[in-house]
């Protein structure tokens, strides 16, 4: 009886930590998103509005803004994946232990905003692709920015493709769950 009580306590602690961790990643997503957008838009404003800044400094600022936006985008994607895994762990624990509230939120209709940060960042990235062709005299800068974004897109695709999908993660959770209970029996 006492050993079962300890296992329940351990499971509740693990569940709470997974919830806390998922919330942490969610907060990190929106913080990085806000800072990345603010800096990249400020840099675009600086390039357009400051006439006393030299041409080469504007080019430097453009690429700095592009890299800040790419870095922000990659952090949003990775934190989103981590957040989803933590919530997946919570759902797994709810399912395996018949939590009272399991599936409670699935029946509530709401507007899905799952990829809103990615969409907004993508639109700003699109602006960074189009912007150099209209603002800078040299199209070479625009071509370089497109190549950088293509390389970034390939890296994002490969990292997303190589990470285990939801079913693969569920198999890992199931295996770990069985290992823990088999050790106690």
CA distances from 148 to 143, 145, 157, 158, 183 (A): 9, 5, 14, 15, 50
pTM of the model: 0.68
Tens-binned pLDDT, residue by residue, of the chain (185 aa): 456 566 677 778 888 888 888 888 888 888 888 888 888 888 878 777 777 777 788 788 888 888 888 888 788 888 888 888 888 888 888 777 777 666 666 666 666 666 677 777 778 878 877 877 777 777 787 788 788 878 877 777 776 666 655 566 667 777 777 666 664 44
Domain ranges of the chain: 2-184
Q: What is the pLDDT of residue 105?
A: 61
* CA angle (28, 30, 31) in 5-degree steps: 60
């Amino acid at each position: 009886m006492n050993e079962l009580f300890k296992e329940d306590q351990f499971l509740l602690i693990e569940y709470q930590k997974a919830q806390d961790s998922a919330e942490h990643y969610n907060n990190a997503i929106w913080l990085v998103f806000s800072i990345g957008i603010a800096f990249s838009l400020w840099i675009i404003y600086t390039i357009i509005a400051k006439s006393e800044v030299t041409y080469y400094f504007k080019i430097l600022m453009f690429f700095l803004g592009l890299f800040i936006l790419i870095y922000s985008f990659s952090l949003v994607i990775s934190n989103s994946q981590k957040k989803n895994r933590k919530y997946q762990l919570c759902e797994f624990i709810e399912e395996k232990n018949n939590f009272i509230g399991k599936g409670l939120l699935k029946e509530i209709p709401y507007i899905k905003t799952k990829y809103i940060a990615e969409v907004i960042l993508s639109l700003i990235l699109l602006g960074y692709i189009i912007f150099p062709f209209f603002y800078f005299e040299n199209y070479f800068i625009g071509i370089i920015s497109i190549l950088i974004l293509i390389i970034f897109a390939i890296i994002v695709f490969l990292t997303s493709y190589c990470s285990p999908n939801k079913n693969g993660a569920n198999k890992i959770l199931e295996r770990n769950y069985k290992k823990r209970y088999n050790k106690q029996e």
